[in-house]
């Protein structure tokens, strides 16, 4: 209807314009004022009249057509392709291409239009302006809330201690107990996580909740059921969780004979591609506010071996190995916990320091590069350093931990070791023997206050190192182990300050480390 009215107006204007010009020209020529008109025949005059009528009409029609054409026709936008029907659509670039355009600072421009939204013509620009304003206000509101949280945490560092009905962090086990407590309370107050639900059937989203890799399943199950931190509205989310399980994916994407892991990497790449194409949230921050979680050692073949795919994302990993790409400033280290039952109550607790009869203990199979060195120097060679491959059937592994002052926790085939948490459960001071390992929750916990770190080259001097710790110092360390134990406990449903909430808090801290930006000049580009 609008086009018909415009055409009618243009036609009337053209006819009026041309008829007026023709009348004036005829009068001039008949009056003899046009001195050169003596050679023009009557037939030529009719042709001139026709040209004077057609040319302005043709120009006006072109102007009307151009006004209603799509902006993409005139290069106001980029990456446009014409369909078979003659319409123009946006040609979405892949998320891999966009990653190379990311700002290297921890600020991310989210002002670009969604890759999945078609551009509009000039007649509906006000709708685009309104939509951009709404998105800008949502992002601005989110960032204002995070800015207030940062300010509150900074103020709490040297302020008064905050009261809490459940637990008040205190003491040298924390890098800064007051700041941690305020940060935790701010997380409880505003932190929201959106969980993607892609995948039918959900073959990659249901990992086991019992085994040495159980924390993948426990976290995914807990966040799915959580009503406080999980949000169904992605516009309210601070972070976005990609819930694909490495453990489950190995059943479908790993060749055990050839040990070929490329199918597993393809699964992750395809999953992220689906998210990037279906939602605007990955594209707007280039994945910076998205996180993945994996405990299997094959996560090295997925998240760490895909630098382009997950370059900006927060990677929550058990195998926090800086030599293999783990970035403590961006990624999260969380504990490996070997759950054999649904409860950990039977493993928790141990005697006080005076009742401990063994200086150090280790038992385990030969795996990785560190354990063979430990066995070479200490297997069955010292009564104080109880190191064995296998225990007798009459001897309980957990009872030996409860009888020992120090529990040796060398890296195995994985960088992480479930022995660390087992030692903490037993009240045994863990001895971390590894290289390039970032302990769990080290952005909050002061591991030097309740554990011993020994490099691989110092394994021959292990007894001297442990003997140099005085009884008084050891008692303090053991008490601190019991204090931080609550942060490694698994509960169903989760309880405040337990391992589930500590994982969330570490992700929360990483989200506080950067700001999502919005470019107000997006429409002028």
Name the DSSP class of 264.
H
pTM for the predicted model, two decimal places:
0.72
pLDDT higher at 468 or 1:
468
Note the pLDDT of residue 63: 58
Asked whether residue 2 is domain-assigned, the answer is no
Determine which of 60-69, 179-188, 224-233, 450-459 has the lowest per-residue pLDDT on average.
60-69
Q: Judge if 280 and 147 occupy the same domain.
A: yes
Residue 163 belongs to some domain of the structure: yes
pLDDT category at 19 given cuts 50, 70, 90 is very low
**Vertex 388, ends 382 and 389: CA angle to 5°?**
160
By mean pLDDT, which of 129-138, 416-425, 486-495 is the weakest? 129-138
Q: Are residues 138 and 280 in the same domain?
A: yes
For range 57-86, the mean pLDDT: 41
What pLDDT was estimated at residue 54? Answer: 64
Q: Are residues 166 and 247 in the same domain?
A: yes
pLDDT in the model for residue 415: 81
Total residue length of the chain = 525
Confirm if 424 and 338 have CB atoms less than 8 A apart: no
Q: Which residue has the higher pLDDT, 201 or 479?
A: 479
Residue 362 and residue 378 in one domain: yes
Look over the chain and give the mean of its residue pLDDT values, rounded to a whole number: 75
pLDDT interval class at 272 (50, 70, 90): confident
Q: What is the pLDDT of residue 274?
A: 85
pLDDT at position 28? 47
Is 17 within a domain?
no
Are residue 332 and residue 354 in the same domain, yes or no?
A: no
Q: Is 399 helix (H, G, I), strand (E, B) or coil?
A: helix
* In a shared domain, residues 312 and 213: yes
Rounded mean pLDDT of 316-344?
86
298 in the same domain as 255? yes
Q: Which residue has the higher pLDDT, 251 or 465?
A: 465
pLDDT of residue 132: 56
The larger pLDDT score, comparing residue 233 to residue 525, is at 233
Under the banding of pLDDT at 50, 70 and 90, the label for residue 89 is very low
* Residue 373 included in any domain: yes
Task: Determine what percent of the chain is predicted with pLDDT higher than 90.
Answer: 43
Establish if 49 belongs to a structural domain. Answer: no
- Examine the domain organization and report whether 360 and 374 are in the same domain: yes
What is the distance between the terminal CA atoms of the chain, rounded to a whole angstrom?
Answer: 32
pLDDT digits (tens, 9 = 90+) for 119-166: 334 444 555 455 556 666 778 888 899 999 999 999 999 889 889 999
What is the model's pLDDT at position 263?
61
Same domain, residue pair 139 and 193: yes
Q: By 3-state DSSP, what share of the chain in percent is helix, strand and coil, each rounded to 5?
A: 50, 10, 40
CA atoms within 13 A on the CB side of 343: 3
**Are residue 266 and residue 328 in the same domain, yes or no?**
yes
Q: Are 288 and 325 in a shared domain?
A: yes
431 domain residue, yes or no? yes
The candidate with the shortest Cα–Cα distance to 422, out of 247, 212, 169, is 212
Question: Using DSSP, how many helices (H) and how many strands (E) does the chain show?
Answer: 15, 14
The pLDDT score that the predictor gives to residue 515 is 83
* CATH number where 385 lies: 3.40.50.2000
Average pLDDT, integer, range 211-240: 89
Cis before 465? omega within 30: no
Q: How many domains does the chain have?
A: 2
Domain membership of residue 298 as a residue range: 133-339+504-512
Indicate if 300 and 352 belong to the same structural domain: no
Lowest mean pLDDT: which of 270-274, 284-288, 380-384, 457-461? 270-274
pLDDT tier for residue 379 given thresholds of 50, 70 and 90: very high
Per the domain annotation, does 126 fall within a domain?
A: no
pLDDT of residue 346: 64
DSSP string over 269-303:
HHHHHHHHHH-SHHHHHTTTTEEEEE-SGGGGGTT
Q: Would you say residue 229 lies in a domain?
A: yes
Strands 429-433 and 332-333: unpaired
> What integer pLDDT is reported at residue 56 of this predicted model?
67
Chain Cα centroid distance, residue 435? 26
């Amino acid at each position: 209807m609008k086009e018909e009215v415009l055409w009618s107006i243009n036609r009337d204007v053209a006819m009026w314009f041309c008829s007026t010009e023709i009348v004036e020209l005829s009068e001039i020529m008949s009056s003899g004022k046009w001195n050169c008109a003596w050679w023009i025949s009557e037939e030529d005059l009719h042709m001139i009249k026709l040209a004077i009528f057609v040319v302005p009409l043709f120009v006006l029609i072109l102007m009307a057509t151009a006004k209603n054409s799509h902006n993409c026709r005139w290069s106001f936008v980029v990456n446009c392709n014409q369909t078979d029907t003659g319409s123009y659509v946006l040609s979405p670039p892949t998320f891999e291409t966009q990653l190379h355009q990311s700002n290297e600072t921890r600020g991310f421009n989210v002002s670009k239009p969604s890759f999945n939204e078609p551009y509009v013509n000039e007649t509906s620009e006000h709708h685009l302006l309104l939509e951009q304003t709404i998105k800008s206000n949502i992002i601005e509101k989110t960032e204002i809330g995070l800015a207030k949280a940062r300010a509150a945490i900074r103020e709490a560092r040297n302020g008064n201690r905050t009261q809490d009905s459940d637990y008040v962090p205190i003491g040298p086990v924390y890098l800064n107990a007051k700041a941690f407590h305020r940060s935790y309370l701010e997380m409880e107050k505003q932190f929201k996580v959106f969980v993607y639900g892609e995948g039918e059937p959900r073959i990659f989203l249901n990992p086991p909740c019992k085994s040495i890799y159980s924390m993948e399943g426990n976290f995914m199950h807990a966040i799915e059921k959580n009503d406080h931190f999980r949000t169904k509205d992605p516009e309210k989310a601070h972070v976005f969780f990609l819930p694909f399980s490495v453990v489950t994916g190995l059943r479908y994407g790993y060749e055990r004979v050839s040990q070929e892991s490329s199918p597993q990497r393809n699964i992750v790449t395809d999953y992220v591609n689906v998210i990037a194409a279906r939602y605007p949230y990955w594209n707007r921050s280039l994945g910076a506010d998205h996180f993945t979680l994996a405990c299997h050692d094959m996560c090295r073949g997925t998240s760490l071996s895909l630098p382009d795919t997950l370059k900006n994302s927060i990677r929550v990993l058990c195998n926090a190995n800086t030599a293999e790409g783990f970035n403590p400033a961006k990624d999260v280290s969380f504990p490996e916990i070997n759950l054999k039952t649904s409860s950990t109550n039977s493993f928790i607790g141990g005697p006080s320091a005076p009742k401990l009869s063994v200086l150090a203990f280790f038992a385990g199979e030969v795996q990785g590069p560190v354990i063979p060195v430990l066995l070479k120097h200490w297997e069955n060679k010292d009564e104080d350093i109880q190191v064995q491959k296998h225990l007798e059937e009459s001897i309980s592994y957990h009872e030996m931990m409860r009888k020992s002052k120090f529990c040796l926790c060398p890296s195995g085939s994985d960088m992480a070791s479930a022995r660390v948490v087992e030692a903490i459960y037993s009240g045994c001071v863990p001895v971390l023997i590894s290289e390039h390992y970032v302990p769990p929750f080290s952005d909050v916990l002061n591991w030097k206050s309740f554990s011993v770190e020994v490099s691989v080259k110092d394994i021959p001097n292990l007894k001297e190192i442990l003997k140099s710790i005085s009884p008084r110092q050891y008692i303090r360390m053991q008490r601190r182990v019991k204090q931080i134990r609550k942060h490694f406990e698994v509960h169903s449903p989760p309880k405040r300050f337990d391992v589930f909430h500590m994982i969330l808090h570490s992700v929360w801290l990483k989200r506080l480390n950067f700001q999502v930006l919005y470019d107000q000049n997006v429409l002028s580009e």
